Amino acid sequence: MIPLEQIEAAAEMIRQGRLVAFPTETVYGLGANALNAAAVARIYEAKGRPAQSPLIVHVASVEMAREVAAAWPQAAGTLAGRYWPGPLTLVLPKRPAVPDIVTAGLGTVGIRVPAHPVALELIRLAGVPIAAPSANRFSGLSPTTAEHVRESLGDAVDLILDGGATDVGIESTVLSLAGPRPVLMRPGMVSRREIEELVGPIEIAAAAGDGPHAAPGMHRKHYSPRTRLLLVEGGAVPERGTGAYAGMGGEPAGPVARLVRMPRDPAGYAAALYETLHRLDREGLDWIAVERPPEGPEWAAILDRLERAAG
Ligand code: TXA
Ligand code: MG
- Same domain, residue pair 248 and 111: no
3-class secondary structure for 21-73? EECCCCCCEEEEECCCHHHHHHHHHHHCCCCCCCCEEECCCHHHHHHHECCCC
Distance 239 CA to ligand 2 centre (A): 33
Query: Is residue 244 scored above 70 in pLDDT?
Result: yes
Distance 137 CA to ligand 1 centre (A): 14
Distance 21 CA to ligand 2 centre (A): 13
- Same domain, residue pair 147 and 276: no
Query: Does residue 140 contact residue 152 with C-beta atoms inside 8 Å?
Result: yes
Measure the CA–CA gap between 111 and 249, rounded to whole angstroms.
Answer: 38
pLDDT band at 217 (very low <50, low <70, confident <90, very high): low
Q: Report yes or no on 295 lying in a domain.
A: yes
Measure the CA–CA gap between 251 and 255, rounded to whole angstroms.
Answer: 10
Q: Report yes or no on 222 lying in a domain.
A: no
Interval 258-296: pLDDT, tens:
999 999 999 999 999 999 999 999 999 999 999 999 999
Which mutation among 40, 44, 56 tests ligand 1's pocket best, with the greatest number of atoms within 8 A of CB? 56
- Give the closest residue (by CA) to ligand 1 atom 27: 110
Enclosing domain of residue 301:
228-310
Spatial CA neighbour of 168 closest among 209, 116, 206: 116
Q: Which amino acid is at 165?
A: A
- Same domain, residue pair 199 and 235: no
Q: Report yes or no on 274 lying in a domain.
A: yes
* Neighbour order of strands in the sheet with 159-160: 159-160, 20-22, 29-33, 130-131, 56-58, 108-112, 88-93, 173-176, 183-186, 203-204
Q: What is the mean pLDDT of residues 158-166?
A: 98
- Same domain, residue pair 191 and 252: no
- Same domain, residue pair 93 and 186: yes
pLDDT at residue 208, as a whole number: 47
- Same domain, residue pair 246 and 306: yes
Query: What does the mean pLDDT of the chain come to?
Result: 94
DSSP string, 96-131: TTS-HHHHTT-SEEEEE--S-HHHHHHHHHHTS-EE
Query: Is residue 213 scored above 50 in pLDDT?
Result: no
CB-ligand 1 contact for 104 (6 Å cutoff) = no
Q: Report yes or no on 163 lying in a domain.
A: yes
Distance 135 CA to ligand 1 centre (A): 12
State which of 204, 237, 255 marks the end of a domain: 204
| Ligand sitting nearest the alpha carbon of 28 | 1
| Backbone torsion region of residue 30, taken as left when φ is above 0, otherwise alpha when ψ lies between -120 and 50, otherwise beta | beta
Q: How many domains does the chain have?
A: 2
Q: What is the mean pLDDT of residues 219-240?
A: 89
- Same domain, residue pair 161 and 246: no
